[in-house]
């Protein structure tokens, strides 16, 4: 199969039926091998110059999806079409060169920086590894990058422990931008920072997006951050996307019961939050991703479950313009009002 892939000009990333399974041993001496179904048939498209948010509770598969897209972990099956090429099968030098166009910023800026290297060397590292520019030109680019992310010139000579948490994340952003990528994945990139610093980093990312035309995939469990930052949102639950919509549509009229629970949990304090949490906040833990039960993954926590939900997995289907929901009862259950306080 050719690596060339027909895709709309404004689509930078097209993920098709992505599956990531991990072996989990056997159940008993003679049992069949079990698998962790971390990601189970995820598909989405990301338009150039936009921010695609993926939200869900811990264990939903958000970070695994991001790492598979970045080719940091192997996909079991599916296509990862980046810039018209299926990079899922890239190996060796071809993958190394492709990495110039997609980079990642991790959650913990301290653990993702080598404590023995100075900041300037850390930002320059991808330029050296990928052979970008001349040695003298690389030094100049590092200086420009540090200035772009709001760090002073003398920051290049400091070690990671000499920066605050927010400054370390700025350093990680500068390093990600060094090879001039088209796509940056932000995997919980602000969750380890306090609220004031979160806002500064989000504003910086927005500024860089405007100036450089960057495309982001933004992974978070914080709906408030997602609402502020993302153009389109996908909600994941136990390895599957259960709802996907433009951000304004999602926050005004979510359609999946799990989305209602997330919105209820994130509502500001007051009568609306009290009402929503009483009606829609789900309790308990999701089932194990090791050989999950048949049917809808949300069935055992859903207040609207019927027998069909336990037996047959729902398909992510169109319910409105650019709005997709995976729920057998999406047209039967009346959606709640998320704006009225009584």
pLDDT (0 to 100) of residue 2: 41
DSSP result, 62-81: HHHHHHHHTTSS--SEEEEE
pLDDT (0 to 100) of residue 30: 64
Say if CB 234 and CB 303 are below 8 A apart: no
Q: How far apart are CA 169 and CA 263, in angstroms?
A: 28
pLDDT (0 to 100) of residue 77: 95
Say if CB 241 and CB 42 are below 8 A apart: yes
pLDDT (0 to 100) of residue 270: 73
Say if CB 215 and CB 49 are below 8 A apart: yes
Say if CB 279 and CB 264 are below 8 A apart: yes
Q: SS3 for 156? A: helix
Q: The dihedral of CA 209, 75, 324, 12: what is its sign?
A: positive
Indicate the burial class of 329 (C-beta count within 10 angstroms; 0-12, 13-18, 19 or more): middle
pLDDT (0 to 100) of residue 284: 77
pLDDT, one tens digit per residue, over 193-212 is 888 899 999 999 999 999 99
Mean of the pLDDT values across residues 303-309? 92
Say if CB 157 and CB 119 are below 8 A apart: yes
Model confidence band, residue 179 (pLDDT cutoffs 50, 70, 90) = very high
Beta bridge partners of 243: 235, 325
Model confidence band, residue 28 (pLDDT cutoffs 50, 70, 90) = low
Share the mean pLDDT of the chain. 89
Please indicate whether residue 28 or residue 256 has the higher confidence score (pLDDT). 256
pLDDT (0 to 100) of residue 6: 47
Lowest mean pLDDT among 195-204, 220-229, 280-289, 310-319: 280-289
pLDDT (0 to 100) of residue 192: 79
Terminal Cα-to-Cα distance of the chain (whole angstroms): 57
- Match 């009606």 to its residue by tokens: 279
Please indicate whether residue 338 or residue 96 has the higher confidence score (pLDDT). 96
Q: What is the pTM of this model?
A: 0.90
Residue 19, pLDDT > 60, answer yes
Residue 57, pLDDT > 50, answer yes
pLDDT (0 to 100) of residue 108: 86
Q: How far apart are CA 240 and CA 253, in angstroms?
A: 20
Model confidence band, residue 40 (pLDDT cutoffs 50, 70, 90) = very high
pLDDT (0 to 100) of residue 37: 92
Q: SS3 for 258? A: helix
Strands in the chain per DSSP E: 11-26, 33-47, 51-55, 77-82, 85-86, 102-105, 183-187, 215-220, 232-237, 240-246, 317-320, 323-325
pLDDT (0 to 100) of residue 155: 94
pLDDT, one tens digit per residue, over 130-172 is 888 888 889 999 999 999 999 998 999 999 999 999 999 999 9
Any idea where the domains of the chain sit in the sequence? 256-342
Residue 337, pLDDT > 90, answer no
Contacts for 219 with CB less than 8 Å, ≥ 6 apart: 53, 54, 62, 63, 65, 66, 185, 186, 187, 188, 189
Mean of the pLDDT values across residues 280-292? 82
Mean of the pLDDT values across residues 111-126? 93
Q: How far apart are CA 182 and CA 132, in angstroms?
A: 15
Say if CB 67 and CB 103 are below 8 A apart: no
Model confidence band, residue 50 (pLDDT cutoffs 50, 70, 90) = very high
pLDDT (0 to 100) of residue 102: 95
pLDDT (0 to 100) of residue 190: 86
pLDDT (0 to 100) of residue 127: 92
């Amino acid at each position: 199969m050719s690596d060339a892939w027909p895709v709309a000009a404004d689509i930078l990333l097209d993920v098709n039926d992505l599956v990531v399974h991990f072996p989990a041993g056997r159940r008993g001496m003679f049992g069949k091998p079990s698998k962790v179904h971390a990601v189970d048939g995820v598909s989405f498209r990301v338009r150039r110059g936009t921010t695609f948010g993926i939200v869900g509770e811990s264990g939903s598969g958000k970070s695994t999806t991001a790492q598979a897209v970045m080719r940091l972990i192997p996909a079991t099956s599916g296509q990862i079409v980046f810039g018209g090429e299926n990079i899922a099968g890239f190996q060796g030098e071809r993958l190394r060169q492709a990495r110039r166009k997609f980079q990642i910023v991790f959650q913990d800026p301290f653990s993702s920086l080598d404590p023995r290297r100075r900041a300037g060397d850390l930002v320059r590292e991808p330029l050296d590894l990928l052979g970008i520019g001349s040695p003298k030109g690389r030094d100049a680019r590092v200086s420009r990058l540090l200035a772009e992310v709001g760090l002073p010139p003398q920051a290049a000579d400091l070690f990671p422990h000499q920066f605050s948490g927010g400054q370390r994340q700025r350093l990680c952003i500068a390093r990600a931008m060094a090879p001039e990528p088209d796509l940056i994945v932000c995997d919980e990139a602000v969750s380890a920072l306090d609220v004031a610093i979160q806002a500064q980093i989000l504003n910086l990312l927005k500024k860089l997006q405007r100036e450089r035309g960057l495309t982001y995939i933004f992974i978070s469990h914080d709906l408030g951050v997602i609402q502020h930052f993302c153009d389109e949102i996908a909600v994941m639950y136990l390895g599957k996307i259960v709802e996907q919509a433009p951000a304004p549509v999602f926050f005004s009229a979510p359609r999946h019961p799990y989305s209602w629970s997330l919105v209820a949990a994130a509502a500001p304090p007051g009568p609306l939050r009290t009402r929503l949490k009483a009606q829609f906040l789900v309790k308990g833990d999701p089932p194990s991703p090791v050989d999950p039960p048949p049917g809808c993954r949300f069935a055992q926590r859903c207040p609207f479950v019927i027998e069909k939900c336990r037996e047959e997995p729902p398909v992510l289907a169109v319910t409105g313009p650019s709005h997709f929901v995976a729920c057998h009862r999406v047209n039967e259950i009346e959606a709640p009002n998320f704006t009225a306080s009584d």
